[in-house]
């Protein structure tokens, strides 16, 4: 039976040196932003903040310089991102492009696509969304039904993508379409495309979530013409490309730091009251967090070595979502403060936001059922 690899990985000195630089920047940039806003962190959307990060060289950090990148290591990028999320920086605008779309184009895109897209993305001026999930199939990508049919010079696309984060603000979508159907192999016949969201035939409808925010979208394609030169990689290779891309999506510090601000606010709240009865539980929560971090850093090391740790990334994503959904429940029990929205103390508002938002943490980036299927398949159990 195959086993998981979580090799120890030590962050290099240059990464730790970067940590101080990022902290100094954030200390100034986030001074006036209240905790309840910072709690939104990687769903927080601030294009001007993204442009500031682009100017600092903190978007596309690992990309080649000829495409606007900075040729730094994945571990340096990891530290930058860890600091951003821990501080509650609004990184949602450039998040998709920096984390995975840029990497995808570097690996599978054409030279034309790289030259056209990456330099602007590295400046925080060009924003992405990802078109994967669909109605009735959720994040089961093998069930993709949005169809791209060949025509002269390109493809005609019809279908619907759902739960597409920030599609209403993005310039481009990396979309997975079905270009062929084989009933005996649903993983075949899938192809990725780079889609300009301003072309005719695309309708984007925002969807409000439990918190009242509308960063999810339904994206409808009606006879949309996508040129041949916008295909990413080769026809029918979409499944392999997507699974490689998802290792970047499912293993990063966002999988255990989305609720970090609540933990710090909880510790501050308990310290204010002088109540020490929760010390053991706080210790357990911190130990769990540190373990998740070690697993995530290990995957960052594997990605830096050019490997594709999709099973390990799925484990981190699943365990991280469990941890982040447990945290608001424990915070409510330990501090005895009711969660509030729009009023109350900083702690009550952060608790209120994350009590509602954390419900979705096991949906984004692949549902729990999909992740456990990947893990079982990797272990040879299905």
Give me the average pLDDT of each 10-residue run along the chain (382 residues): 82 93 96 92 90 97 97 93 95 93 95 98 97 82 92 97 93 96 88 97 90 86 98 94 73 84 93 87 96 92 83 90 94 93 92 91 79 86 80
For residue 379, what are the contacts with CB-CB under 8 A and spacing of at least 6? 1, 2, 3, 311
Give residue 2's pLDDT: 65
The Cα 66–Cα 77 span in angstroms is: 18
pLDDT score, position 367: 81
Beta carbons of 236 and 180 less than 8 angstroms apart: yes
Predicted local distance difference test score (pLDDT) of residue 247? 64
Residues 106, 108: Cα–Cα separation, whole Å: 6
**Rg of the Cα atoms in the chain:** 21
Q: What is the pLDDT of residue 378?
A: 83
pLDDT of residue 112: 97
Question: Which distant-in-sequence residues (6+ apart) come within 8 Å of 179 by Cβ?
Answer: 147, 148, 149, 150, 155, 189, 190, 191, 235, 236
Q: Which residues are within 8 A (CB) of 336 and not within 5 positions of it... i.e. 6 or more apart?
A: none
Q: Taking a C-beta distance cutoff of 8 angstroms, is the pair 91, 50 a contact?
A: yes
Q: How long a stretch of residues is the chain?
A: 382
Among residues 300, 309, 364, the alpha carbon closest in space to that of 129 is found at: 364
Whole-angstrom Cα distance, residue 343 to residue 36? Answer: 10
What is the pLDDT at residue 13? Answer: 93
Residues 6 or more apart whose CB falls under 8 angstroms from that of 312 comprise 4, 5, 6, 251, 295, 298, 299, 302
């Amino acid at each position: 039976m195959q086993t998981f690899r979580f090799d120890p990985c030590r962050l290099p000195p240059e990464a730790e040196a970067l940590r101080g630089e990022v902290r100094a920047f954030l200390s100034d940039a986030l001074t006036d932003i209240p905790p309840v806003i910072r709690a939104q962190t990687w769903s927080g959307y601030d294009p001007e903040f993204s442009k500031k990060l682009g100017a600092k060289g903190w978007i596309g950090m690992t990309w080649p310089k000829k495409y606007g990148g900075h040729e730094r290591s994945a571990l340096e990028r990891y530290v930058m991102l860890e600091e951003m999320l821990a501080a509650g920086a609004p990184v949602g605008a450039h998040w998709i492009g920096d984390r995975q779309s840029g990497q995808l184009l570097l690996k599978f895109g054409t030279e034309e696509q790289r030259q056209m897209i990456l330099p602007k993305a590295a400046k925080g001026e060009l924003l992405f969304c990802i078109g994967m999930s669909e109605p009735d199939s959720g994040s089961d990508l093998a069930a993709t039904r949005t169809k791209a049919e060949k025509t002269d010079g390109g493809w005609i696309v019809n279908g619907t993508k759902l739960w597409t984060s920030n599609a209403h603000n993005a310039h481009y979508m990396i979309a997975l379409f079905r270009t062929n159907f084989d009933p005996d192999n649903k993983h075949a016949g899938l192809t990725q495309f780079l889609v300009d969201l301003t072309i005719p035939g695309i309708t984007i409808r925002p969807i409000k979530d439990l918190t009242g925010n509308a960063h999810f979208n339904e994206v409808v394609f009606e006879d949309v013409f996508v040129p041949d030169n916008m295909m990413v990689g080769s026809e029918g290779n979409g499944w392999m490309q997507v699974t490689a891309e998802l290792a970047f999506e499912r293993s990063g510090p966002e999988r255990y730091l989305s609720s970090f601000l609540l933990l710090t606010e909880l510790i501050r709240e308990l310290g204010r009251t002088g109540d020490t009865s929760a010390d053991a539980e706080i210790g357990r929560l911190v130990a769990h967090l540190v373990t998740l971090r070690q697993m995530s850093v290990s995957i960052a090391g594997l990605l830096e070595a050019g490997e594709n740790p999709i099973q390990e990334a799925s484990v981190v994503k699943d365990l991280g979502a469990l941890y982040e959904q447990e945290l608001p429940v424990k915070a409510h029990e330990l501090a005895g403060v009711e969660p509030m929205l729009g009023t109350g103390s900083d702690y009550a508002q952060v608790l209120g936001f994350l009590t509602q938002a954390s419900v979705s943490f096991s949906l984004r980036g692949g549902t729990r059922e999909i992740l456990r299927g990947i893990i079982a398949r990797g272990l040879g159990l299905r």
